[in-house]
Amino acid sequence: MGGARDVGWVAAGLVLAAGACYCFYRLTRGRRRGVPGLRLRPSRSAEDLTNGSYDDILNAEQLQKLLYLLESTEDPVIIERALVTLGNNAAFSVNQVTIRELGGIPIIGSKINNPNQSIKEKALNALNNLSVNVENQIKIKVYVSQVCEDVFSGPLNSAVQLAGLRLLTNMTVTNDHQHMLSSYITDLFHLLLTGNGSTKVQVLKLLLNLSENPAMTDGLLGAKVDSSFLSLYDGHVAKEILLRVLTLFQNITTCLEKEGRLAIQPTFTEGSLFYLLYGEECAQKMRALVYHHDADVKEKVTMIPKF
């Protein structure tokens, strides 16, 4: 009896092994340019595992196979493709739930520690798509500090830095996890000043989310920020950046006003964002922007509460 069961297990093992080998073979052929995802087609056998359109939605069983593959392989090409496929599938809300229920988030999350920047980026992208789901955010938040460290120590303007920033932005769409960024606010402003246009815009999206949360106002205003920050309010600054720094100013001021804080001289030290925003130099820039050639910019300036 035990023997019969053993035979069954051996047979199952062989089938699995054969499937894995075939999958590995198909994957490593890499017929396409760029980094395609794994091609898995629902309602197909293991042989067709990699023959499907890029956008196929996988079922739970296929996602499980993919997660198993991701967990067990050392091959960077396969890891990367599995992450891309999981990320694409995580664009669908049903799969966001399935991947979490299959224990997929820690498997994907562990790949952000991979020394290969390309793999790191794909893992961050997959987590970003998974983070649209609020329950997933609770599982993803354990990676926030690590992502912050990587974003601020990694190569400036790199794809991996942007991917990290996007994930952090989507983790701050609600107020629930924003406090985790409290100790990185100075770093965010530093990145805002040193990064190029794409980096600046992404940092601003994140800062804007924080700026709407009264619980973050003190952290923002107390942050040490280089005075070159004020040059972002110059008339020639790109509109997508200018509008965002103005909204940042507007939102922070609204939060302060709501709490009646502007009346009682707040205690922020010199060199802080507070000193920059409510100092004479900034006031001058605002007066100049009232005459900006762009109507949206003009309107935004006049919306900043007076104090």
Ligand X SMILES: *[C@@H]1O[C@H](CO)[C@@H](O)[C@H](O)[C@H]1NC(C)=O
Q: Pattern 208-227, binding to ligand X, x per CB under 6 A? A: -x--x---------------
Query: CB of 78 within 8 A of CB of 69?
Result: yes
Is residue 247 part of the contact set for ligand X (CB under 6 A)? Answer: yes
Centroid of chain to Cα 104: 18
Burial class (CB in 10 A: 0-12, 13-18, 19+), 137: buried
For the bound state, the minimum distance from the C-beta of residue 10 to ligand X, rounded and expressed in Å, comes to: 30
Q: Pattern 262-301, binding to ligand X, x per CB under 6 A? A: ----------------------------------------
Is residue 205 part of the contact set for ligand X (CB under 6 A)? Answer: yes
Looking at beta carbons, which pairs linking 120-124 to residues 24 or more positions away fall under 8 Å? Answer: 120/150, 120/160, 120/163, 121/159, 121/160, 121/163, 122/35, 122/80, 122/83, 122/84, 122/87, 123/83, 124/160, 124/163, 124/164, 124/166, 124/167
Taking CB under 6 A as the binding criterion, the range among 13-21, 192-200, 227-235, 278-286 that sits at the site for ligand X is 192-200
Using the minimum distance from each CB to ligand X, give the nearer residue, 77 or 102. 77
Using the minimum distance from each CB to ligand X, give the nearer residue, 194 or 250. 250
Taking CB under 6 A as the binding criterion, the range among 60-68, 96-104, 127-135, 281-289 that sits at the site for ligand X is 127-135
Return the residue of 254, 261, 275, 292 that touches ligand X, per CB under 6 A: 254
Using the minimum distance from each CB to ligand X, give the nearer residue, 128 or 272. 128
Taking CB under 6 A as the binding criterion, the range among 58-66, 142-150, 220-228, 249-257 that sits at the site for ligand X is 249-257
Return the residue of 59, 73, 116, 182 that touches ligand X, per CB under 6 A: 116
CA pair distance 54, 170, nearest whole angstrom: 24
Return the residue of 59, 64, 118, 186 that touches ligand X, per CB under 6 A: 118
- What are 271's two structure tokens? 């060199």
For the bound state, the minimum distance from the C-beta of residue 69 to ligand X, rounded and expressed in Å, comes to: 14
Looking at beta carbons, which pairs linking 113-121 to residues 24 or more positions away fall under 8 Å? Answer: 113/146, 114/79, 116/76, 116/80, 117/154, 117/155, 117/158, 117/159, 117/160, 118/35, 118/76, 118/80, 119/76, 119/79, 119/80, 119/83, 120/150, 120/160, 120/163, 121/159, 121/160, 121/163
Return the residue of 57, 173, 193, 237 that touches ligand X, per CB under 6 A: 173
Map the footprint of ligand X across residues 48-107, applying CB under 6 A: 51, 76-77, 80, 84, 87-88, 91
Give the interface with ligand X as residue ranges (CB under 6 A): 51, 76-77, 80, 84, 87-88, 91, 116, 118-119, 125-126, 128-129, 132, 157, 170, 173-175, 196-198, 205, 209, 212, 247, 250-251, 254-255
